[in-house]
Structure 1
Amino acid sequence: MTHVADRYDELLSLIHALASGDLAFRLRVPKAGEPGVHDDLEAVFLGLNMLAEELEATTVRRDAYQTALDELQRTQAQLVQSAKLAALGELAAGVGHEMNQPLQVICNHIEELPHLVEERDHEEILRSADEMQDAVGRASEVIRQLRTFARDAVRSEREHIDVGAMVHDSLVLFREDLRVRGIEVILDLADDLPPIHGNPIEVQQVITNLVLNARDAVTGRENATITLRTSVEPGAVLIDIQDTGPGVLPELRKQIFNPFFTSKSEENGTGLGLTISEQIMRRHGGTLTLRNNEPPGAHFTLRFPAEAP
């Protein structure tokens, strides 16, 4: 015969089991008509068993969700790294273009020097020396920018950023590539801009990504032009990057900041560049927006909070 006191002991056992994490513990529910069964109490036990089953199922779902979340985070980290490697590939290509021209200039003059010395053409020798010095200066500028890039990539501290200098430096490594492609670059940099506060490498990453997107959009088109403009408004510093490419179709405007969305081929785009750029801008308290296509072409605006004077 089942006594009420025994059933309370079973109830306590269930409570202790659930508290200790044993969600598989169940109370024995007597069959209807079994001697000593108290209908109300047995109904409570049946409900508690159902609750324990739901808790167990919820735990299984939670564990599955956590596993899926962990896998998603790992995949996201891998994709972000892939985007960074793609940017590094673009950087390497830009460095190759930028270093090739001054080195070629120096090689040409070195080949010519023996002849000039033999002819005692002092004027041409001096001209060659000047041109080689200019080429060395250009190569030094590229190396300086690479050292800055490497230095800032290692550290994550934020600092005062001169926006005009940042825009200029972002173009250094791609200037020759843009020239070879027949792309005109127009710089309209405002004077006396207030500084912004941020991570230089991240800000440069955003500018570089937008410039490379503009480059890809205008390559092969007539009057291929990329315009970079800086300006100030109350409490903010703006960088506008505009191209004369085909622009963004109206039906795609809401998708371009979505992860993995790209209009490029799989070999040329990960679909994460604009997503990462927008995240960087948010971390800096700013915004990245796509302006209306007037005139035709893509027009992006970076808006940074200006530092108080």
Structure 2
Amino acid sequence: MNIALAAKVCFSTYCGRWEQPDINKQARHMIAMTRRHSVKRAIAAATLLAMAFPSVTMSAAQKSTRARPNGPPAGPAYASSITGVDCSNIVERARDLKPLLPLLRSAALKGGLQVERDEFETSETRSARQAAKLEQLLGGTRRIVAAIPLESYNFTYHADAGEMSAGGPFNEDLYHVGRDYSNRQVDLQLFRETLTTETYDASNAYGASTEVERSNKLRMALLLGKGAVQKMPRLKLDVSHAKALKASPRLLIVGELRAPFVSFSYERISPATIDYPYETRLASYGLHTKINCAVLTGGGEEFYRWTF
């Protein structure tokens, strides 16, 4: 086999060990990042990288694509805002809800969602500690009441038929990729974002080398258990209502956390090759949740309702 061809094939199939910069460069980079950015942002990034991306080695070319958050609302404020909210009044009360997603996102970045199991404690004890941690985060409640933006979903209006179509917000097997069908979960994605991107020089034992761009992503979803995905049927809408829905689609949910409460996975979902030098690493949090109802709204008006 031609040596150049062998190098290309082996690089694409991960023959040999990729060589990356010395791990000490990561520490030097974090110091430099602290100088360039705020201390708070550097600590948050370092915490997530240590938790979810232990093998990441930064380069001086790192760039952050994450916007600086304004700060999540306090847990007690969230808990107070959802008092008395249920499936019968969620649409009317949605405007008064304190946002849940920034609260969960901030906790995930700081490593504050999970509790580590001690080897001497039972699963029941660990589950109780996990529940207590989440209750404290949410201001003393296990209830999940939130308005989830759906701008990323492809809502399409068919003017001749007067119908709006979309795939629906519920996903199957996005959290447990590749497992047996009987173990697949239905989930509801809360958010997915790119936290950082960086570049590094990679090479293999055959001498093939390239610069790889790596993206570190964070995803969070509600895990709804096993079952069939509930699709959204085509909705009969006039033009004005269709425009209102497409302009600001939101999913209002009412539910409650349940054991085992939190799952976490870390995947390299897009390995780099010499022909495609891009790598994606995904840290996924799943909150086990019993959903009572989910309501599709736009412009404050209800368009469709799922019950569970």
TM-score range, shorter chain: under 0.3
TM-score (norm: length of structure 1):
0.22
Higher relative contact order (CA 8 A, sep 6+): 2
The structure with the greater share of residues assigned to helix is 1
Of structures 1 and 2, the larger Rg is shown by 1
Higher strand share: 2
